[in-house]
Amino acid sequence: MSFSSVSSDPASALAAFGWDEAWAAEFAPYAEQGLLPGRVVRVDRGQCDIVTADGVVRADTAFVTPHDPLRVICTGDWAAVETAGNPRYVKAYLPRRTAFVRSTSSQRSEGQILAANVDHAVIAVSLAVELDLGRIERFLALAWESGAQPLVVLTKADLVPDPVTLGHLVQDVETAAPGVQVLTVSSVTGEGTDVLAAVVAGGTSVLLGISGAGKSTLANALLGADVMEVQQTREVDGKGRHTTTTRNLLALPGGGVLIDTPGLRGVGLWDAGTGVGQVFAEIEEYAGSCRFHDCAHEAEPGCAVLAAVDAGALPERRLESYRKLLRENQRIVAKTDARLRSELRRDWRLKSAVGRANYAAKRGRG
């Protein structure tokens, strides 16, 4: 379904983009205000494109640009927009069902929301270069934390013609991704694209991965057309230029919608303790048998996790990756808590100063 083929009935026009009765119930108060429902398909410099029953409209986000970067409007949000005006304004967006968030590269311990209301997090990993299992685990932690169902797609499978070698690579990823479907896909041969299309047809999917992972090629395969620009990757390291520069929501011909994202240089955790636990579910299960409930799995007596490593039941690489992500997550949570405490203290000081000024003014009038 194209953006230009929507009708005047919001329910039928927006169903292909994920609109349902629950969203309609959430939107009811805004409908009473005469606002128009729509889904954000792109955000750019304080404005966004929104697909509505009237077609795609351009709207200003000034009314929904709070100080908290996690509350800014983003691709995938359901918005309440003015029916007319130049410019039109987004007045509000509906509470998110899921949100994919990472930490920024800044020193301010802030989170960045990449996509909202996502059902499937498709993590694209290129087979043209050596697998980085630690990076896959990092993506998976963020995906689980978002509330979406992760899916790992190994792209460029045609570059690994030996089925035995390919099988070993898939097995390595499956070990790093317990409970997650792992697909091999080739845009050259068409392998796996039909299976992937069937998965993403049921809802909203976000396509994630580093630059050069083959996301744009994968998006084109799902869209059935060369919609996304594709750049050649460097042979030396398998990396490519960032052909996608904004997050775009695209309607898929087989059903469902896809949010394509730029290649991510950094994938920092953001309060993803639950996600880390799900990625390393077997370690958390072993930990339940440790002698001490606060066991750090370093050198404590009676540590069931270390016993599993010694017995060969748990790869030592998995334990090291688990420790690394836990430490990183603890640091970001601690920094975030400190920042929040600092902001609360600042607000308290400002309110106290206002209170003192008001009290002094009253005494002066008396």
What DSSP line would sit under 17-53, residue for residue?
Answer: GT--HHHHHHHHHHHHTT-EEEEEEEEETTEEEEEET
Predicted pLDDT of residue 345? 62
pLDDT band at 243 (very low <50, low <70, confident <90, very high): very low
Predicted pLDDT of residue 233? 44
Residue 132's DSSP bridge partners are none
pLDDT band at 268 (very low <50, low <70, confident <90, very high): confident
> Quick check: helix, strand or coil at residue 318?
helix
pTM of the model: 0.82
Using the structure block, give the residue that is written with the tokens 């292909």. 16
Which has more pLDDT, 103 or 222? 222
Quick one: which of 129, 61, 62, 74 has its CA closest to 100? 74
Q: Is the pLDDT of residue 2 over 60?
A: no
Mean pLDDT value of segment 93-121:
83
Contacts of 281 (CB under 8 A, 6+ apart): 178, 179
By the 10 Å C-beta count (0-12 exposed, 13-18 middle, 19+ buried), 69 is classed as: middle
